[in-house]
Amino acid sequence: MPRKIIIDTDPGQDDAVAILLALASPELEVLGITAVAGNVPLPLTQKNGRTVVELARKDTPVYAGCEAPLKRKLVTAEHVHGKTGLDGIALPDPTHPLQPEHAVDFLIDTLRAHAPGTITLCPLGPLTNIATAFQRAPDIVSRVAEIVLMGGGCFEGGNITPAAEFNIYVDPEAADIVFRSGVPLVVMPLDVTHKALTSRAWVEGMRSLGTPVGQAVASWTDFFERFDTAKYGSEGAPLHDPCVIAYLLEPALFTGRHINVEIETQSPLTLGMTVADWWRVTDRAPNALFMGGVDREGFYRLLTERLGRL
């Protein structure tokens, strides 16, 4: 039986690679893709989600969700992902339809319709859709099997402010709701994703597949690699979001600790910080499996094998 998942996302080149990895993997049944505003505004994230589904030649439904954070003005990241969010290769406008149902309603209805503990949520962007669903329908919280998300940082600090990672910073109040929800959490922070750097050989390997998916992945990576190599002085760019899907497929690729993680929602200096009690210096109860390490070679081997199927 494949594991049922919902991917909540703001695509984003690395989001797109994560979606493709999930759609290429028979161990996972993607019930739907819910778009949220984040890397770019909602009209672009829902369009990008449909573009990626079409690229994979799948019919996975895509839903548009929240267009702004719970309490704040939207902060976007065109400086990383380009004006469309998927800059790097010109792809045709998708014909794959947008579903009429709001993403939050889809989340609520789907979790109510399935047996408790059978659906895993995979947020790759700000947590606005998930938090809104939890607020609107508290009965669904206990029905979620697990949330595996990309967000936060500990020893790596932040990537949008010195203290905060982008996904958490955009909607810290939403993140706070999710981290306090009691749902089992697995967190892929910058500490892991900055160890999952692309290499020139891998990008060219994608290109040499000669498939539309291979061409797109290589072009997307080329585009945002320029930003990350300039910023971090690193060899390649971190593929943040595919870590979430890779964990579902091969959890042994990752190492971490079950610790307490709180979200800073008040401080102007550290707003959106994931305050991760890595050394367990407080008596706060653990609420998240917070990852710290990744087998980079194994991660890219998995990506290559799966993306080659599409």
Distances (CA, A) of 238 to 61, 132, 177, 296: 28, 29, 27, 11
| Interatomic CA distance for residues 310 and 304, integer angstroms | 11
Nearest CA among 237, 306, 261, 276 for reference residue 13: 237
Does 114 qualify as catalytic in the annotation?
no
How are strands ordered across the β-sheet holding 185-188?
Answer: 62-64, 28-35, 3-9, 119-123, 144-150, 185-188, 288-294, 254-259
Tokens of 113: 């319709």
Catalytic choice (102, 194, 240, 258) = 240
Are 63 and 32 contacting, i.e. CB atoms less than 8 angstroms apart?
yes
| Interatomic CA distance for residues 157 and 96, integer angstroms | 38
| Interatomic CA distance for residues 9 and 42, integer angstroms | 10
Are 246 and 27 contacting, i.e. CB atoms less than 8 angstroms apart?
no
Active site (catalytic) residues:
240
